[in-house]
């Protein structure tokens, strides 16, 4: 039988990209979604609410090869009190309920991969590997609570991997979409000083990182899931703007490197930004 990988909250851009990649690799991909249960294009969608145990989705966890959790309200919004509460709750609730489902499994998955964020380093131009100091502010606090919840307990038969994902560049969506729209209307200039860093990576490399985390038993703990060569805002198209988002998203930056991935021999397909953009655009 094909190995089954469950993608919790995987109906967004990153989850769909990984589901398609898993299909091509011969896996069965199951996406837990707040939408309706269905089978589409060889991918199974199962309804869940991200906080309640229900047999319909719990049975997908039992006997699965791995879980990848993408669940979390988007941070691309204004940070009102309600939005802040939902951003935190959506992340912590999903981790808690997935942990419970794993504990109840007679055949638990051998890997639980959690999609996290490089935002834990705050706004900094300093080079940040996995052990760099954390920043401050709301986004940092969210990431700290996220990671603490994920590693608050050890699952005896399940490896736990946290990928702090950078600025992922892919076709037809993702981080590149708003930049392409701005450039199309002649708005591709720098934001603020233009000196803030963007820690970018190509979706092909991100999918490869997910596969290593799923398949390689040596992967465990926290990894900076980003490319080897961060660039400044000015070097990258000159803009990182998301409409109707908190202004800090366009003005902050971080200069992160994937030290642990490199130490474990991860091979990047794309290390040059121009080559990555030529492939995607």
* CA pair distance 223, 261, nearest whole angstrom: 7
Give me the tens of pLDDT residue by residue for the chain, a chain 281 residues long: 689 999 999 999 999 999 999 999 999 999 999 999 999 999 999 999 999 999 999 999 999 999 999 999 988 888 899 999 999 999 999 999 999 999 999 999 999 999 999 999 998 888 999 999 999 999 999 999 999 999 999 999 999 999 999 999 998 766 666 555 544 544 444 455 557 788 999 999 999 999 999 999 999 999 999 999 898 877 775 433 433 444 444 446 788 999 999 999 999 999 988 888 888 87
Burial tier of 97 (Cβ tally within 10 Å: 0-12, 13-18, 19+): buried
Q: Where does 114-198 have alpha helices with state H?
A: 138-150, 176-184
Sheet holding 38-40, edge to edge: 38-40, 43-47, 28-33, 4-8, 66-69, 111-117, 159-165, 221-225
Half-sphere exposure of residue 267: CA atoms within 13 angstroms, side-chain side: 1
**Which residues of 72-230 form beta strands (DSSP E)?**
111-117, 124-128, 159-165, 167-170, 173-174, 197-198, 200-202, 221-225
Q: How far is CA 207 from CA 18, 53, 163, in A?
A: 6, 28, 11
């Amino acid at each position: 039988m094909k190995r089954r990988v469950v993608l919790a909250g995987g109906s967004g851009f990153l989850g769909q990209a990984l589901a398609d990649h898993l299909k091509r690799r011969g896996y069965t991909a199951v996406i837990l979604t707040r939408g309706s249960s269905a089978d589409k294009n060889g991918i199974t969608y199962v309804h869940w609410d991200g906080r309640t145990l229900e047999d319909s989705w719990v049975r997908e966890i039992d006997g699965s090869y791995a879980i990848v959790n993408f669940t979390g309200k988007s941070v691309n919004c204004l940070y009102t009190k309600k939005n802040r509460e939902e951003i935190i709750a959506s992340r912590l609730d999903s981790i808690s309920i997935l942990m419970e489902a794993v504990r109840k499994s007679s055949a638990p998955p051998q890997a639980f991969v959690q999609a996290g964020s490089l935002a834990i380093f705050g706004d900094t131009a300093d080079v940040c590997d996995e052990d760099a100091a954390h920043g401050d502010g709301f986004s940092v606090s969210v990431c700290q609570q996220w990671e603490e919840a994920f590693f608050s307990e050890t699952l005896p038969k399940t490896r736990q991997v946290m990928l702090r994902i950078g600025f992922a560049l892919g076709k037809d969506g993702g981080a590149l979409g708003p930049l392409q729209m701005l450039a199309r209307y002649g708005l591709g200039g720098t934001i603020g000083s233009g000196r803030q860093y963007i820690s970018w990576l190509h979706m092909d490399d991100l999918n490869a990182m997910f596969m290593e985390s799923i398949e390689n038993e040596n992967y465990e703990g926290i990894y900076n899931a980003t490319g080897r060569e961060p660039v400044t805002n000015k070097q990258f198209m000159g803009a990182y703007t998301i409409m109707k988002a908190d202004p800090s998203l366009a003005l902050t930056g971080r200069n992160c490197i994937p030290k642990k991935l490199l130490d474990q021999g991860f091979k990047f397909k794309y290390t040059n930004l121009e080559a990555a953009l030529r492939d995607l655009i």
